[in-house]
A and B are shown apart, each in its own frame.
Chain A
Amino acid sequence: MWRFVLSRLAMTVPTVIGITVLAFALARLLPGDPVEVMLGERMSDKAAHAKMVQQLGLDQPLPLQYLSYLGRLVRGELGASLVNRKSVVSEFAALFPATVELALCALLISALGGILIGTLAALRRGSWVDQGLMGLSLTGHSMPIYWSGLLAIMFFSVWMRDVIPMLALPVSGRLAVVYDIPARTGFMLIDTLLSDERGAFRSAVSHLILPGFVLGTYAMAIVARMTRSCLLETLSLEFVRAARARGLPVWRVVIKHALRNALIPVVTVIGLQTGGLLGGAVLTETIFSWPGIGRWLVDAIYQRDYTVLQGGILLTALMVIGVNLLVDVLYGAIDPRIRHPRV
C-alpha cells in the first residue's frame, strides 16, 4: 500500500512544476497591466506609471520574474498581492475554510442525493420514476447557477418569509449580523459551536443550506447517473441473483451487497467533483456572498494581480491534487485489484 501511495505522490511533482509555469504564463498573457487597472480612468503621467511598474518588479524580463517567483516558492513564500500588498498565503488562509465548508456541504448533498436518486432510478428501471428522477437531476445540472441561485433565494428566502416565516432561509452570507463570532478556525460551523452565543450555530447551518444545495444539485446529476448505471450493472451479476435466490430481502441485497460494489466508480466521480468544488464555486460565492477562493481568484484576474493568481492557482491546484490522491488511495483501499500490479 505504501509503495502505491509513494508512486502516486511522485507523479504529482511534474504536475506541480507544470502548474507553476502555467499559472505564471497565463497571468501574464492577460492584456493590460495591474498598474493601469489600479489607476483606472486617472491616466497618470508616464513617469508615475513607470515608477509603480518598477516598484512592483514588473519591468524585469519575464524569465527573471519567473525565477524570482520560483526562488520565493522554494523558500515557502508566495509573495504579496500587487494590489493591496497583503500576503497571498494569509489571504488564502482566510478564505480557504469558507470554500471547504461550502464544498463539503455541497458534496454531502450531491453524494447522498445522487446515490439515493440513482439507486431508486435503478430499482425502478424504465418506469416513470426512473425517467422522472433522471430528468429532474439533469435539470438541476443544466440550470445555470446564477439563475437557480436567484430562484432559490426568491422562493426560500423572500416568498417563504411571507408564507411560512419559520421555514424562511437567509438570503446570503455565512451568519446573521447579530452574532459577532471571531474566526478561530475560519469554519463557521465550528466557530459557532465553540462560541457561547446561543443560536449562532443554528444561524450558521441555515446560511449554509441554500448555497450548499444550489451548488450540490449541479454535481448531483453526475453522481445519480453514475450510481444508476453502476448499480444496474451490479444487479445483473450472478452473486446478486444468488443472494436473492437464498431469500435475502431486496433492501439487504441492494444496500449490503450490490451498492457496495457499485459505489467504487461513484467514489471516483465524487472525488473528482470535490476537486472542482474546492477550486472555487465562483458563481455560488457571488450570489450568496460567500467569501471563498473562487471569487478571490476572479477578482485577481480583473485586477491583473499576478502574485495572487500565481499563488492562488498553485494552492488550489495542490488542494485538487491532494484530494485526487486521496481518492486514488481510497479506491485502492476499497478495491485491492487497483493497488496490486497486474500479473
Chain B
Amino acid sequence: MTLNGLSRLTLGLTLALGATLCAAQNKTLVYCAPSDPQGFDMPRWTTTQTIDAAGLTIYDRLVEFEPGTLKLLPGLAEKWTVSADGKAYTFTIRKGVKFHSTDYFKPTRDLTVDDVVFSMERYRDTDSAFNKAYGVSNYPYNSWAKNLASVEKVDANTMRLNLKVADATTMANLGMVTSIVTSLEYAEQLQKAGKLANLDSEPIGTGPWIMRRYDKDAQVRYDANAQYWGGKPKVDRLVIQTVKDAAVRLQKIKVGECHIGSNPRPQDLATIRADSNLVLQEVGGLNIGYIGLNTEKKPFDNKDVRNALAQASDRKAMLQAVYQGIGTATSQLVPPNTLGHFADLKEIPFNPEQAKKMLAAAGYPNGFEVEVWAPMIAAQYNPDAKKTAEMLQADWAKVGVTVKVVNIEWGEFLKRVRAGEHSVALLGWAADIADPDNFFVPLVTCSRPTPSRWCTKEVDGLLEQARATTNNDQRAKLYRQVADIVQREMPYIPIAHTKQYKPVRKEVVNFHMDPLTRTILQQVDLK
C-alpha cells in the first residue's frame, strides 16, 4: 500500500509536531563556568563556581535574597520573629518541602524542623561528627555560627536560634549561600555507613535542581526538580560546563554551545556587545580593590603620609588602563547600593602637588623608597595588579617616592601579607553578604590580622553597636562614623568596585544578573 499525498502530508506534520514537542519537553540549559566546583557540601567552600553549581542549585536556606535585589524573602522558613533583645530568632518552617530522590538516597519523609535543627547544629558544634567528616575544620565560611548559643526545636513546625550576643547581620548570614539546610535522614544514613564525607560528593537538598552526575573538570548535570516548593524550573535539564579559558568561553557562546557565559575578559566586552546573538548583562559587584598600606611599618604609620600617597595616585587612569571600563571609581570601601555606602562621602582628590607638600610636612621632602607587592592573579576586584603597581610606580615617582614593583605568586603573597611582611600590597575583598559588616570586619577590625594592620577600639565599638541593632537608620549613622574615620586615617587607598558581566544568548529569557553575583537559573527559560 502506498501513501497518497494527503497521508504523506499528515504523517510529515505529525512527525514535525512530535519533534517540536520532544524538543520543548527536553529543554537543556547550558551555563559555561570558568572552573569546576570545589565540592558540593556548600559550607566548606566559597568560590563563585561552587556557589553556582551547588549552593544555588541543590540547596535552599531558611531565607533567600530576592533575585536581583538585596531584599530577604522567606525560604524554607515561612516567617520569623526576632526577640526584643535581638538574641532569639524564631522560625516557622515551611511544610510540604521534598528532599531530592536520587540513586544514592530515597527520602522517606518531607523536610521537618529536625532537618533544620541538624543543619544549624553542624555549623555551631565544632565537636560534631560532621565537623570531623573531612579530617579538617569543615565550615570556616559559616563563622557566624560561633555566635550561636543554642539551636532549639520549639515544636513540630518551629525552631529557634539563640545567639550569644545580638547580631543584626544574622538574617543576612542565614541568607548567605553557605547556610544551607540538608537532610538529617540522609546524614544519618551516611553516618551509619561510615561515609560522612559523601556529603561533599553525593549531595541531597531541597533545591530546584537535582544533581545527576558530576564529571570532574568537565560538567555537572542536573534534572529539574518537579516537586520544588518554589515552582519547577522552566527547563528540564541544566548542564554547568567547565570551560577554563575565557577566549574559548566566548567562542562557545558565540556558536551556541553555551546559553550563558561567565567572566568575560574586559577586551571582549565590545565584541559581545556587537554580536546580535548575544546580550551583555552587567551588575555592580560587592567588592573593592585597594592599595593596602601596612601601618605597622614606617612611614605608613603616619596618616599624613598615607593621605599624601592617596592624593598622588591617579586612580582614574588606573580605571582606564587596568579595569578597562569594568570598574567604577570609589573613595570608600563599601560599594554603592549597599548600606554603608555614602554618596556624599568626600572624594579623594588626585593632586600630586598637594601630595608632595604633605609628604614634606610629614618629614619626607625627598620622598622615600618602598616595595609595592602585586600578586600574580587576575582577581575580580583587580584584573591586573602588576599593571596597577607599575602605574603607581609612575605616579609616586612624581612626588619623590621610588617604588620597586614586586610580583609575587598568589600563595606566597597571601602568606607574607598575612604575616605582615609587606609595606604596600595590592589586594581586595569580595563580600559574602550585602552588609557593611562584611566589608569593615575583614578590613578594619582588631579581631583578626588585616592587610593594613590598622584598627582602633573606637571603630570596633561602632561596628559592634551596628551589629547589635536591626534598625537600618541607626546602623547607617554608625557606619557613617566608621566610613569617616577610615577615610581620614586612610589605611587603604580604594581604587575601584568592579562590575560583573555575563554574556547571554538572545534565546535565553528571564535571566538577570544578581548583585551578590549569584547565577540563579530556576526561572530561566529558552525560547
Contacts and interface: CB of A to CB of B under 8 A. Distances in A.
Interface of A: 30-33, 36-37, 39-46, 48-49, 51-52, 55-56, 80, 83-86, 91, 94-95, 150, 153-154, 157-158, 161, 168, 170-174, 177-178, 180, 182-183, 286-289, 291-292, 295-296, 302, 304
A41 B414 contact: yes
Most chain B beta-carbon neighbours within 10 Å: one of A55, A91, A171: A171
B245 A171 contact: no
B30 A177 contact: yes
B410 A302 contact: yes
A95 B216 contact: yes
**B interface secondary structure, majority:** mixed
B217 A43 contact: no
A183 B136 contact: no
Given A41-B430, A177-B239, 4 more contacts: A51-B137, A85-B135, A153-B248, A161-B255
B450 A80 contact: no
Contacts of B414: 32, 36-37, 39-41, 43
Nearest to B381: A41
A292 B414 CA distance: 28
B128 interface: no
Interface in B133-152: 134-137, 140
A297 to B, nearest CB: 12
A183 B450 CA distance: 46
Interface in B431-469: 442, 447-451
A177 B411 contact: no
A177 B241 contact: yes
Contacts of A170: 257
Contacts of A42: 140, 442
Nearest to A168: B255
Nearest to A183: B215
B409 A289 contact: no
A286 B448 contact: no
B135 A80 contact: yes
Nearest to B430: A41
A30 to B, nearest CB: 7
A171 B248 contact: yes
13 contacts: A32-B410, A32-B415, A33-B411, A36-B418, A39-B414, A41-B428, A51-B137, A153-B248, A177-B239, A183-B215, A289-B243, A292-B217, A304-B411
A88 B216 CA distance: 13
6 cross-chain pairs, A with B, having the tightest CB-CB distances, nearest first? A32-B411, A291-B217, A31-B412, A291-B218, A55-B136, A32-B412
B519 interface: no
A84 B38 contact: yes
Contacts of A33: 411, 415
A94 B216 contact: yes
A183 B219 CA distance: 12
